[in-house]
Amino acid sequence: MAWKFFTSAGAEKVTAALSADKVYSTSLPASPIDGQEAVLTDSVTAGTYAWRFRYNSSAVSAYKWDFIGGAPVNALVGASESCASTSYIDLASVGPSITLPRAGDYLVTFGGRFEMNTGNTAASQMLGYITVKLGASASGDTESLTLSTYTPYELPINTARTILLTGRAASDVLKLQYKRNTGTVQIANRFIGVIPVRVS
């Protein structure tokens, strides 16, 4: 199918033999046209995501493919496991984690269910942390969520946070890690979901 592109003044800008609706691949076009759309997937036969992008050649950002549709990529570890470390660690079941397919900016939602365990009383504040480890960088509190509670009871509390991560590299692994300030905390139903904002 022949597509014609026009300037705002009505002049023909580009003529190309392509069908934007049929660009469905594990990579984005290498020589895109302004306004071109394409669907990026991790597999054309058994994909776990299908993200639709539109190319914006006028974008100031180096990431000129704007995300315009699709569902998040999600990963989950359901097991309830304990954490007794005051620095960020992997639990017995590592993760969950997601590998970014392209360089760009991403929205990341993550969380889990905190179940207070030993060493917690009404007089001691329990702090449980979940953070997103960014690639090879050390884990920190900037990308974390914190549960703060004064309670001796073992009541499960579900919590989540969404953050914007900018300038991430292709193949960066986003992995959840955990710590606490005192006693032991159980963490279950740990999840992470990623959706792009714009990519290269």
CATH number for the domain that contains residue 140: 2.60.120.40
**Domain end point (choices 44, 69, 94):** 69
Instruction: Give the pLDDT of the chain (200 residues) as one tens digit per residue.
Output: 455 556 556 666 554 444 444 689 999 999 999 999 999 999 999 999 999 999 999 999 999 999 999 999 999 999 999 888 888 999 999 999 999 999 999 999 999 988 766 555 554 555 678 889 888 788 888 888 787 665 555 567 888 999 999 999 999 999 999 988 877 888 899 999 999 999 99
Claim to verify: residue 186 and residue 92 sit in the same structural domain? yes
Claim to verify: residue 57 and residue 33 sit in the same structural domain? yes
The answer to whether the CB of 139 falls within 8 A of the CB of 89 is no
Rounded to an integer, what is the distance from CA 57 to the centroid of its chain? 25
**Domain end point (choices 41, 69, 97):** 69
Burial of residue 109 (CB within 10 Å: 0-12, 13-18, 19+) is middle
Which pLDDT does position 71 carry in this prediction? 94
Residue 150, domain extent: 73-199
Strand ranges (DSSP E) for 101-155? 104-116, 126-134, 144-149
Which pLDDT does position 7 carry in this prediction? 59
CA distance 130 to 178: 5
Which pLDDT does position 66 carry in this prediction? 97
Which pLDDT does position 15 carry in this prediction? 47
Claim to verify: residue 78 and residue 170 sit in the same structural domain? yes
CA distance 39 to 132: 27
Claim to verify: residue 87 and residue 151 sit in the same structural domain? yes
Claim to verify: residue 96 and residue 164 sit in the same structural domain? yes
| Global pTM value | 0.81
The answer to whether the CB of 147 falls within 8 A of the CB of 128 is yes
The answer to whether the CB of 179 falls within 8 A of the CB of 129 is yes
90: left (phi over 0), alpha (psi -120 to 50) or beta: beta
CA 31, 27, 52, 200 torsion-angle sign = negative
Claim to verify: residue 151 and residue 106 sit in the same structural domain? yes
103-129 pLDDT per residue, tens? 999 999 999 988 766 555 554 555 678
Claim to verify: residue 60 and residue 89 sit in the same structural domain? no
Claim to verify: residue 57 and residue 146 sit in the same structural domain? no
Number of domains present in the structure of the chain:
2
Claim to verify: residue 91 and residue 188 sit in the same structural domain? yes
